[in-house]
Amino acid sequence: MSTVLTLSGSPSPDSRTSVLLRHTQEWLVDQEHEVLTLHVRDLPTSALLVANTEHPAIRHALGLVRRADGLIVASPVYRAAYSGLVKAFLDLLPDGALAGKVVAPLATGGTQGHLVAMDYSLRPMLSAMGADNLVPGCFVLDRLIQLAGEGGAMDSSALAAVHVALSQFGAALGARHRLPVVA
Amino acid sequence: MTYRLAVVSAGIGEPSSTRLLAERLAQATGQALGGQAEIHVVALRDLAHEVANAVLTGFPAGALREAVDTVVGADALIAVTPIFNASYSGLFKSFFDVLEPDSLAGKPVLIGATGGTPRHSLALEHALRPLFAYLRAVVVPTAVYAAAEDWGGQLTDRIGLAGGELANLVAGTPKPVRQDPYENVVPFEQLLAGNG
């Protein structure tokens, strides 16, 4: 069992990113991982955008990242890149904060063309932050996620793809536990 | 004729090297335009709260509305961000997330960035240029990156070069025709008819 933080960079509580993360969290719980959740939109906005890391809520959020063995970073694709909101939070992390953690990017977007936004913006940014155990993650088209109904729903093919990505994430978490600790 | 230059700085320090670079770029552009430029600086730091609210609600309000109008209505834009994690800052990206997607189409833009080390200078080409390409803005070839040790010397030349490029582009670009959003409203009968 590992501790996994799911990080949402969507500005809206009723978003496709939320539906995707709800399914992700269910999968993680099924696999008996401890799940921590963080919605960047719930953080105090001014403190977030001017990088005030002394604010208690921001310190708490940074503590969640420290505690986690793995991170799921989920963002809607805006202007062919990750949301400004998710970047604002990641900017607050100290150097090396992602080192040794398993990190999986998840993204939702309106067109298949935005698939590359993951590879051209989200992954390189996480990589530049020192994420040295970055697994492929998943991009899900907006139209495969339905917002209607309680908690929304995902198309079965999209859900299967997300489960494949999560299995890779889970396998990397498992391998992490078997690695000798480097002093 | 006088050109309106909007200058967006995402610097968060006081004083801010990002803001300094933004102002130097604006001065260089203004000089290249023979002094026929009005410079309007938008410091995103002072609008952080409004930017965050607009991200959540989808509507820029108050001082942010004015800043958006300044940027959208300008003849050219100079956009400068500190580089964090090899990319633009979250505040900078949030501001451009709030702008309507087509509002910068065809606008001449000069991009600049500041960073602690020269290692991240290509973030301009890998993060900022694609962002403005997506927004269909016209970005001048020379982007200006200033690391802590770059101030003085060649940086001044590069600022002059970039400002000259922006000035040439602005002077050769016809003034945008601003459309009145209320000029061509869909008649009410037509809206209602759509509801069957």
**DSSP secondary structure string for all residues of A72-128:** EEEEE-BTTB--HHHHHHHTTSPTTTTTTSEEEEEEEESSGGGHHHIIIIIHHHHHH
**Phi–psi pair at A133, nearest 5 degrees:** -135, 70
Q: Which residues of B touch A51 (CB under 8 A)?
A: 12
Is the predicted pLDDT of residue B176 greater than 90, yes or no? no
Is the predicted pLDDT of residue B172 greater than 90, yes or no? no
CB contact set of B177 (below 8 Å; sequence gap of 6+): none
Give me chain A's average pLDDT, please: 92
Task: With CB atoms and an 8 Å threshold, state whether B130 touches A78.
Answer: no
* Spans of all domains in chain B: 3-192
Task: With CB atoms and an 8 Å threshold, state whether B90 touches A91.
Answer: yes
Quote ipTM for the complex: 0.89
Task: With CB atoms and an 8 Å threshold, state whether A84 touches B101.
Answer: no
Predicted pLDDT of residue B101? 87
| A·B CB contacts under 8 A | 97
Q: What single DSSP character describes residue B177?
A: -
CB contact set of A45 (below 8 Å; sequence gap of 6+): B48, B49, B52, B53, B56
Q: Mean pLDDT, to the nearest integer, of B40-54? A: 93
Q: Mean pLDDT, to the nearest integer, of B124-145? A: 96
Predicted pLDDT of residue B173? 75
Percent of chain A exceeding pLDDT 90 equals 78
Range of the domain at A50: 3-178
Q: How confident is the model at residue A180 (pLDDT cuts 50, 70, 90)?
A: low
> Which of B148, B139, B152, B74 is closest to B115 using CA atoms?
B148
Distance CA(B146)–CA(B18), nearest Å, equals: 9
Q: Which residues of A touch B86 (CB under 8 A)?
A: 124-125, 128
pTM, entire model: 0.89
Q: Mean pLDDT, to the nearest integer, of B20-37? A: 97
Predicted pLDDT of residue B13? 87
Class of domain B3-192: alpha beta
Percent of chain B exceeding pLDDT 70 equals 95
Number of Cβ atoms within 10 Å of the Cβ of B24: 22
**Phi–psi pair at A145, nearest 5 degrees:** -120, 125
CATH number for the domain harbouring residue A136:
3.40.50.360
A129, part of any domain: yes
pLDDT in tens, A135-163: 999 999 999 999 988 888 999 999 999 99
B129 in reach of chain A (CB within 8 A): no
Residues in chain B: 196
CB contact set of B156 (below 8 Å; sequence gap of 6+): none
Is the predicted pLDDT of residue A182 greater than 60, yes or no? no
Distance CA(B148)–CA(B157), nearest Å, equals: 16
Lowest mean pLDDT across A43-52, A60-69, A103-112, B11-20: A43-52
Distance CA(A113)–CA(B162), nearest Å, equals: 32
**Which of A50, A81, A85 has the CB atom closest to B131's CB atom?**
A81
Q: How confident is the model at residue A177 (pLDDT cuts 50, 70, 90)?
A: confident
User: Strand, helix or coil at B110?
Assistant: strand
B93 in reach of chain A (CB within 8 A): yes
Percent of chain B exceeding pLDDT 90 equals 73
User: Strand, helix or coil at B14?
Assistant: coil
Predicted pLDDT of residue B174? 72
A13, part of any domain: yes
Q: Which residues of B touch A49 (CB under 8 A)?
A: 48-49, 51-52, 90-91, 94
Q: Spell out which chain A residues touch chain B, with contact meaning CB-CB distance below 8 angstroms.
A: 11-12, 41, 45-46, 48-51, 78-91, 120-121, 124-125, 128-129
pLDDT in tens, A22-45: 999 999 999 999 999 999 999 998
A112, part of any domain: yes
Total domain count for chain A? 1
> Which of B37, B21, B17 is closest to B29 using CA atoms?
B37
> Which residues are bridge partners to B7 per DSSP?
B41, B78
- Cβ contacts of B151-159, under 8 Å, gap ≥ 24: B151/B17, B159/B21, B159/B24, B159/B25, B159/B28
A44, part of any domain: yes
Q: Which residues of B touch A48 (CB under 8 A)?
A: 52, 90
A183, part of any domain: no
Q: Mean pLDDT, to the nearest integer, of A59-68? A: 96
> Which residues are bridge partners to A35 per DSSP?
A4
Sign of CA pseudo-dihedral A132, A135, A140, A145:
negative
CA angle A35-A40-A43, nearest 5°?
Answer: 110
Is the predicted pLDDT of residue A179 greater than 70, yes or no? no
Chain A: nearest CA to B58, how far in angstroms? 9
Two tokens, residue B71: 């940027």
